Amino acid sequence: MGKLYTEIDERMRQFVAAQHLFFVATAPGGEAGHVNCSPKGRDTFRVLGPTTVAYLDYTGSGVETLAHLRQNGRIVIMFCAFAGPPRILRLHGRGEALEVGEAGFEALAPHFAPLPALGVRAIVRIELTRIADSCGYGVPLMRYEGERDQMERWAERKGADGIAAYQKEKNSASIDALPGLKLVS
């Protein structure tokens, strides 16, 4: 069943690389506010070291994850095996959002090369504090059919100026009025 690990080993790296989907969960500090859980796909996740991971964050209809990270840094990533042997891997840690244009973003960008022309708003880097797996017996078997192309088409239609305007409107604050993207706030 479940086990704790001190670092990401090669077997975990291979498991993570084989997954087409992962989930990101964050919450604001205190008793009020909305917990957020977001699915992420594409080739956007990287293991940077034994206790450091990162993923590309695309422009979206909200900015909850980035706002929560700005407020308290708490985050968990969950991978589930939908094919092959059952397994769930949870990566708990302290994260930070490095927005496009910031030095930290530029330093990590080569790990994701080539970057999409439009749509990326940040790289989320996480220092892991807890690495755990569990059985995944309750996760259904599902077949991967491919990536959707709507994100690229949407970004191309909007163009750089349109995305900037969208981010200013939709990504400057969370649903709980926490500050969102720094560069549009």
The label of the residue with tokens 């990504």 reads: 171
Residue 42 lies in a domain: yes
* Alpha-carbon distance values, 61 to 17, 65, 164 (Å): 27, 12, 13
Distances (CA, A) of 125 to 47, 80, 132: 10, 20, 18
The predicted structure's pLDDT at residue 131? 98
In DSSP terms, 24 is beta-bridged to 38, 77
Q: How many domains does the chain fold into?
A: 1
Average pLDDT of every residue of the chain: 95
**How many other CB atoms are there within 10 angstroms of residue 107's CB atom?**
12
In-domain check, residue 68: yes
- The answer to the question of residue 18 being in a domain is yes
Question: Is residue 179 a part of any domain in this protein?
Answer: no
Q: What residue type is 55 in one-letter code?
A: Y
- Each residue's pLDDT tens digit, 114-138: 988 889 999 999 999 999 999 999 9
Average pLDDT over residues 162-171: 94
Q: Tens of pLDDT along 60-111?
A: 999 999 999 999 999 999 999 999 999 999 999 999 999 999 989 999 999 9
**Structural domain contains residue 175:** no
CATH of the domain at 159: 2.30.110.10
pLDDT at 37: 98
Q: For 19-47, how does the pLDDT look when each residue is reduced to its tens digit (9 = 90+)? A: 999 999 999 998 899 999 999 999 999 99
Residue 51 included in any domain? yes
- pTM for the model stands at 0.95
Q: Report the pLDDT value the prediction gives residue 166, as an integer from 0 to 100.
A: 95
DSSP 110: G
In a domain, 39, yes or no: yes
Give me the domain span that covers residue 95. Answer: 3-137+147-170
126: nearest Cα among 149, 159, 104: 104
Q: Give the pLDDT of residue 2.
A: 85
- Is 80 exceeded by the pLDDT of residue 1? no
Both tokens assigned to 58 = 């695309």
Indicate whether 87 belongs to any domain: yes
